[in-house]
Each structure stands twice: as structure tokens, then as C-alpha cells.
Amino acid sequence: MKKILITGALGQIGSELTMTLRERYGAKNVIATDINKNDSNVVYSGPFEQLDVTNDKAFFETAKKHNVDTVIHLAALLSATAEQKPLLAWNLNMGGLVNALEVSRELNTQFFTPSSIGAFGPSTPKDRTPQDTIQQPTTMYGVNKVSGELLCNYYFQKFGVDTRGLRFPGLISYVAPPGGGTTDYAVEIYYEAIKKGHYSSYIGKGTYMDMMYMPDALNAIINLMEADPAKLKHRNSFNVSAMSIAPEDVEAAIQKLMPEFTMDYKVDPIRQQIAESWPNAIDSTCACEEWGFKAEYDLDRMTADMLLHLNKKLT
């Protein structure tokens, strides 16, 4: 039976992943941790500990106390916030990651942490971006993600830690909002469509980025963690994407179901610059071949589901 510790469990991925893993492995076997504490299901439906991942001793003691065999490390600053607070991003994203890897090494646990399309930069091929290619990001977040990918590979090669990871695109969900990301527009647009029937996009027309609906992201994490290690040639930071879209594509998908919806643009130069430094469309072939990655949701199916759930949640 698994015993999993999740950091950043109240964040966008963590709040859904915790609940999904509790259903799969039993509530008491999934220890949710976060620097914050709130009134959510995550806190009350199973074990919860307040944890600052930069505190190495507290991290180790929490993991040891619960006798965990898997660490899922999600606590991190996203790209736009990291660009505003680069030193904090370095300290939290890298300090938290090395502490998490050390806990895994000392307790001999399996390990997962997400990388991102942000690990690529302007010199990376923009379309059908290969799994193994140039990675020279121009953001602090990207620098953290490339370093993190290398560090996870190092812990596998040097210490035999069973590290695994995915390069996530923008993740879209109606449950917990993202915070401080460049791809957040693709979540906000659905909230504003329901609340106001209008959205002003901070990302410009024609700016393509990869995206994925949260149920596909959760399945991808579970499938990768359960994959036969003998079949994994890459282990860390697999490219995974479900769709490559620009704001006007989301606008058109929403208008199929809400013809009254309108959108205009108020481009934020900082997030636009980050978006332009990232690929248009990454190639997920290695993830498909090595552990059977498959996304179920395209833009239209995701849009119908988002609008259905947000209608119930917001009206």
C-alpha cells in the first residue's frame, strides 16, 4: 500500500491531486502538506500538516513521522510571479526541490515533481518541440525548471532515487485557481465568461501555447508514477500536451456555447514576453511511447465541461 506525501497540496494541482489519490489509495495514506492552511476538503478529508518546504528539518521529520514511500513535490512559484521575485523564486523553487530530493534519498521513496513548457526558451524549436532539444530559457522560472530537471536526473543516476516528472503545459481547471502563471488567462477566461460575459486577454492574439485539462494532467501523473521503470528511457520531464491554442481559439470555443460572449485584448508586456519565449506546440511522442500518455480532452470537450461546472459554481 502506498503512503504519499504531497507538498503544495492547496495549490492548483495539489488540491485536485490530493483528493484523487485519497480516493485511489485511501485517505489516510495521502499526507497533504502546504505552507498555508484553509477550510478546504484537502485539509479535512485526511492527514494534513503545515509545512514550509524550505525548512529541511521539518520536511524530513514530517515525511519520517508518516513513514511515506512516495514524495510528490508541487510547492513552487509560477512563471509570472517568479519573474517579479526572482530571488524568492530561486530560493523556494530550488531550495524546496533539493530538500524534497534529500528526503526521498534518505527515506528511499519514489519521487515526482512537475517541470514545465517554461523549461524551453526562444532558441528552442517552436513547433513539434522535441523531447530532447535546446533548453535555454530566459525566465527565472525556466532556469529553475531546467536546473530541476537536471537535479532530478542526477538524484536518479547518482543515488538511485526513483525520480519521475512531466513538462506540464498550462493546466485548466474549475476547482482551484492557478496563481502567478503566464497561462492563467486560459482559466480566467472561463470564469469571466460566466461572471461577465466578457474577457480582456492579457495574452495577445495569435500567441500559441500548450494547454491541458486537469483530469488529463492527474491521469498523466498517476500513469507515469505507476509505469514500469524498465520502459522509461527518460524518467524525468516528459513533454505532455493536449492542445496548442491561442486566446482567439478559446474565445471561439466559448462562443459555440455562449454566442453572446465577447473578448478584447489588454496585453501585459511581461507575461506576453514570457509566452513568446515558450514553444507553440510541444511533441508528446516519448510520453506516449514510453508509458502510454493519452489526453482525453480537446478544446471543445474541455470548454463544455468548464462552462458546465462553472455555471453551477458561480451562478
Instruction: Count CB-CB contacts under 10 A for residue 260.
Output: 8
Q: Which long-range contacts (CB under 8 A, 24 or more apart) does 57-63 make?
A: 59/7, 59/99, 59/100, 59/103, 60/99, 60/102, 60/103, 60/106, 60/107, 62/5, 62/31, 62/33, 63/5, 63/103, 63/107, 63/109
Q: Which is nearer to ligand AKB, 8 or 181 (CB)?
A: 181
Which three cell numbers, joined as nine digits, stand for 33? Answer: 502538506
CB 148 to ligand AKB: min, Å: 12
What are the Cα distances from residue 49, in Å, to 22, 28, 72, 136, 244?
15, 13, 14, 37, 37
Q: Distance from CA of residue 134 to its chain's centroid?
A: 21
Stretch that binds ligand AKB, among 55-63, 176-184, 234-242, 284-292 (CB under 6 A): 176-184
CB 169 within 8 A of CB 212: yes
Query: What DSSP string runs through 140-200?
Result: HHHHHHHHHHHHHHHHHHHH--EEE-EEE-EEE-SSS---S-STTHHHHHHHHHHHTSEEE
CB 105 to ligand AKB: min, Å: 26
CB 69 to ligand AKB: min, Å: 27
> How many amino acids of this chain bind ligand AKB (CB under 6 A)?
13
CB 9 to ligand AKB: min, Å: 18
Stretch that binds ligand AKB, among 101-109, 162-170, 261-269, 303-311 (CB under 6 A): 162-170
CB 201 to ligand AKB: min, Å: 14
Binds ligand AKB by CB under 6 A, chosen from 10, 74, 78, 242: 78
182 binds ligand AKB (CB under 6 A): yes
181 binds ligand AKB (CB under 6 A): yes
Of residues 231-290, those binding ligand AKB (CB under 6 A): none
Coil, strand or helix at 50: strand
CB 79 within 8 A of CB 180: yes
Residue nearest to ligand AKB (CB): 181
Site string for ligand AKB, 95-134 (x = CB under 6 A): ---------------------xxx----------------
Q: Which is nearer to ligand AKB, 68 or 187 (CB)?
A: 187
Nearest to 273 by CA among 55, 154, 122: 122
**Catalytic residue among 25, 44, 141, 154, which?**
141
Binds ligand AKB by CB under 6 A, chosen from 79, 104, 280, 303: 79
Coil, strand or helix at 295: coil
CB 139 to ligand AKB: min, Å: 9
Binds ligand AKB by CB under 6 A, chosen from 183, 207, 237, 241: 183
Which three cell numbers, joined as nine digits, stand for 240? Answer: 505532455
CA geometry: angle at 283 spanning 299 and 185, to 5°?
A: 40
303 binds ligand AKB (CB under 6 A): no
Active site residue 141: yes
Stretch that binds ligand AKB, among 41-49, 163-171, 295-303, 307-315 (CB under 6 A): 163-171
Site residues for ligand AKB per CB under 6 A: 78-79, 116-118, 141, 168-170, 178, 181-183
Catalytic sites, residue numbers: 141
